[in-house]
């Protein structure tokens, strides 16, 4: 049967329900409100009981903050505090893969001038650069940045050798070592079983990734990571390192407290006090893993003073 046009359905429904509405007893109307004085400036009509929040207005009269609202516990600020610093502007990249305006580009597709040989920082990074990417100089040693970093956001793209060769840890192995100590694993974990806390996305020897979102060998994969450096007071650990990581856009580590440098296997991982900033390292594990589009942003924390 052909459905009735919408207009007909609406008309029928109206006719059918009109008598019902007509039978309803009208509810008593509220007494007309006594005309009252307009609310004081800064208060919305109908909110005459609202306390004075200490609204602060800009030159055009827009409310841009308050001075008498409740204090936010554990902070020096009130709710919607007019004096709270405004975060600085950052121009994002054209896509989330592109470096934003405040990023330090560590590889722009051309050269490894921002990197040195890890075992001898006076020497250049010995890894080959080709067609917009660089590749582990398998067996030539790990590389690290000339610049030192503490808290950072890292973007890095990698691909493991195709076709994949080897098994377990001996397959597409590299790694990102924050501060040359704390490894977030790079491995060909596509249909390749190894110990869980050593597969791609693992904080090596500590935490497996939440899930395994890897791509096939040879496909470009994307790491986006927030690394918070450990904090020491003299020789005492005040706060551990934390790693939050997305692999191919999937959350795999959520602010995991790193237990210490991730290399030891026969002793528990344990911190030793070190500098607040150290180089970022990429591991040579004798497999030709490729990298491209590597950038970091220094993270300075919340409520930074506004530039004058
Ligand atoms: Mg590794």
Reported as a single tens digit per residue, the pLDDT across 44-80 is 555 567 899 999 999 999 999 999 999 999 999 999 9
Q: How far is the centre of ligand 1, averaged over its atoms, from the C-alpha of 256 (Å)?
A: 18
Residues 125 and 63 in one domain: no
Same structural domain, 203 and 70:
no
233 in the same domain as 179: yes
Instruction: Tell me how far the alpha carbon of residue 176 lies from the centroid of ligand 1, in angstroms.
Output: 8
Q: List the domain range (segments joined by +) for residue 243.
A: 104-298
User: 111 with 248, same domain?
Assistant: yes
**Calpha distance 196→178 (Å, rounded):** 20
Contact 126, 262 (CB under 8 A): no
**Which residues are 143's β-sheet partners?**
117, 282
pLDDT grade for 31, boundaries at 50, 70 and 90: very low
pLDDT for 25 equals 38
Cα 160 to averaged position of ligand 1 atoms, centre (Å) = 12
Q: Are residues 67 and 181 in the same domain?
A: no
Q: How many domains does the chain have?
A: 2
Cα 54 to averaged position of ligand 1 atoms, centre (Å): 56
Residue 233: give its domain's CATH number. 2.60.120.560
Say if residue 59 is in the same domain as residue 175: no
- Residue at 93 is within a domain: no
| Cα(108) to centroid(ligand 1), Å | 23
Average pLDDT over residues 240-261: 98
Q: Are 199 and 185 in contact (CB under 8 A)?
A: yes
295: CA distance to ligand 1 center in Å?
20
> What's the token pair of residue 240?
């551990």
Q: Are residues 138 and 240 in the same domain?
A: yes
Q: Do the Cβ atoms of 109 and 133 come closer than 8 Å?
A: yes
How far, in Å, is the centroid of ligand 1 from the Cα of 23?
Answer: 78
112 shares a domain with 79: no
Instruction: Provide, rounded to the nearest whole percent, the portion of the chain with pLDDT above 90.
Output: 81
In a domain, 123, yes or no: yes
Question: How do the residues of the chain divide into helix, strand and coil, expressed in percent and rounded to 5?
Answer: 5, 30, 60
Say yes or no to pLDDT of 172 above 60.
yes
- Give 8 Cα–ligand 1 centroid separation in angstroms: 70
Considering the domain architecture, whether residues 65 and 183 belong to the same structural domain is answered as no
**pLDDT over threshold 90, residue 30:** no
In angstroms, the CA 145 to CA 211 distance is 29
How far does residue 186's CA lie from ligand 1's centre (Å)? 6
What does the pLDDT average to over 225-239?
Answer: 97
Separation of CA 201 and ligand 1 centre (Å):
10
pTM score? 0.83
Asked if the structure places residue 91 within a domain, the reply is: no
Residue 296 in contact with residue 154, Cβ under 8 Å? Answer: yes
How far is the C-alpha of 290 from the C-alpha of 104, rounded, in Å?
Answer: 20
Tell me the per-residue pLDDT of 111-149, one tens digit each, with 9 for 90 and over: 999 999 999 999 999 999 999 999 998 789 999 999 999
Q: Flag whether pLDDT at 29 surpasses 60.
A: no
- In terms of domains, do 179 and 250 share one? yes
């Amino acid at each position: 049967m052909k459905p009735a046009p919408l207009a007909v359905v609406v008309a029928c429904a109206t006719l059918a329900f009109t008598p019902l509405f007509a039978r309803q007893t009208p509810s008593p109307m509220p007494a007309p409100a006594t005309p009252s004085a307009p609310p004081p400036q800064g208060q919305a009509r109908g909110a005459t009981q609202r306390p004075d929040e200490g609204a602060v207005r800009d030159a055009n009269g827009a409310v841009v903050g308050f001075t008498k609202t409740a204090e936010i516990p554990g902070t020096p600020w009130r709710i919607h505090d007019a004096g709270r610093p405004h975060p600085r502007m950052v121009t994002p990249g054209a896509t989330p893969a592109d470096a934003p305006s405040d990023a330090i580009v560590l590889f722009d597709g051309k050269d490894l001038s921002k990197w040195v040989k890890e075992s001898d920082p006076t020497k250049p990074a010995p890894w080959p650069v080709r067609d917009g990417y660089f590749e582990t100089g398998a067996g030539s040693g790990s590389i690290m940045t000339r610049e030192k970093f503490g808290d950072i956001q890292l973007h890095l793209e990698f691909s493991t050798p195709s076709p994949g060769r080897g098994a377990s840890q001996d397959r597409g192995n590299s790694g990102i070592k924050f501060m040359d100590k704390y490894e977030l694993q790079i491995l060909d974990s596509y249909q390749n079983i190894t110990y869980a806390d050593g597969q791609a996305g693992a904080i090596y020897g500590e935490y497996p990734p939440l899930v395994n979102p890897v791509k096939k060998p040879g496909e470009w994969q994307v790491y986006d990571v927030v690394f918070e450096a450990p904090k020491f007071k003299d020789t005492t650990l005040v706060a551990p390192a934390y790693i939050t990581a997305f692999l191919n856009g999937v959350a795999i580590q959520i602010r995991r407290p790193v237990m210490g440098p991730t290399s030891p296997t026969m002793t528990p991982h344990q911190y030793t006090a070190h500098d607040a900033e150290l180089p970022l390292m990429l591991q040579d594990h004798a497999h030709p893993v490729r990298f491209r589009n590597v950038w970091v942003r220094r993270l300075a924390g919340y409520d930074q003073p506004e530039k004058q």
